[in-house]
Amino acid sequence: MGISGLIKEVKEDKEKFGLLECEMEPLIRKYVKKLYKDDKEEMYAELIAALWEAVCRIGSYESDAKAKAYLNNAVRYKFLELYKESCKYNNNTLVVEEEELEKKESLNHSYVDAVTMEDMDRIRDRLQGKKRQIFELIFYREYTDSQAASELDVSRQYVHQVKKSLCKMIEREVLSIL
């Protein structure tokens, strides 16, 4: 079942929201990780609330890709808002470029932001050997390149090269959906 099917189920039965949350978890965890100075549980809850609001607001959608983009943008916009607040609170300079903050009105989004758990599982299932192990460590368990290299007894550079090729694979997968 795609995102639009999940949205429809959530609108009919609020208890099904957990399924949508699981589907959007990679994106949400990515943003929570970027808000490293803040309370992770609180930031996760804020992003989940943004997802819920987006589900409540979304009207009709032409395709899974457009519905997914709408939800991704809602979560991304909330992240940018939280990031800006975090920088003010922690008295730091913005690492995210101002241009990125200005894109809030735009529908453009990073291809990686459109990846759901279903997409990740489909990609993982096509991989074998070290590539699959690196994929799981980096994208599911959130290891750094160094941690994955140590775990698999390979060089950090090798892990980084494989990760770059995996990111390109993810981008192609998402582009084929959009």
CATH number, position 157 = 1.10.10
Same domain as 82, residue 123: no
Same domain as 131, residue 94: no
Q: What is the Cα–Cα distance from 116 to 28, expressed in whole angstroms?
A: 10
Same domain as 20, residue 91: yes
pLDDT tens per residue, range 23-45: 888 888 888 888 766 678 888 89
Q: Are 78 and 33 in contact (CB under 8 A)?
A: no
Same domain as 126, residue 74: no
pLDDT tens per residue, range 60-113: 776 777 888 888 888 888 888 888 887 776 655 445 544 444 444 333 334 445
Mean pLDDT, to the nearest integer, of 167-178?
A: 71
Q: What is the Cα–Cα distance from 79 to 35, expressed in whole angstroms?
A: 8
Same domain as 92, residue 29: yes
Q: Are 76 and 46 in contact (CB under 8 A)?
A: no
Same domain as 123, residue 105: no
Tokens 């959906």, residue?
177
Neighbours of 4 (CB within 10 A): 18
Burial class (CB in 10 A: 0-12, 13-18, 19+), 168: exposed
Same domain as 152, residue 95: no
Q: What is the Cα–Cα distance from 137 to 151, expressed in whole angstroms?
A: 9
Tell me, what's the pLDDT at 98? 43
Tell me, what's the pLDDT at 161? 92
Identify the domain containing residue 122 by its residue range: 118-177
Same domain as 52, residue 134: no
The last residue of a domain, from among 56, 83, 109: 109
Q: Are 93 and 101 in contact (CB under 8 A)?
A: no
Burial class (CB in 10 A: 0-12, 13-18, 19+), 72: buried
pLDDT band at 174 (very low <50, low <70, confident <90, very high): low
Same domain as 26, residue 101: yes
The last residue of a domain, from among 86, 109, 132: 109
DSSP state of 96: S
Same domain as 96, residue 16: yes
Question: How many structural domains comprise the chain?
Answer: 2
Same domain as 131, residue 66: no
Q: Are 73 and 107 in contact (CB under 8 A)?
A: yes
Q: How far apart are the first and last CA of the chain?
A: 16
pTM as predicted: 0.54
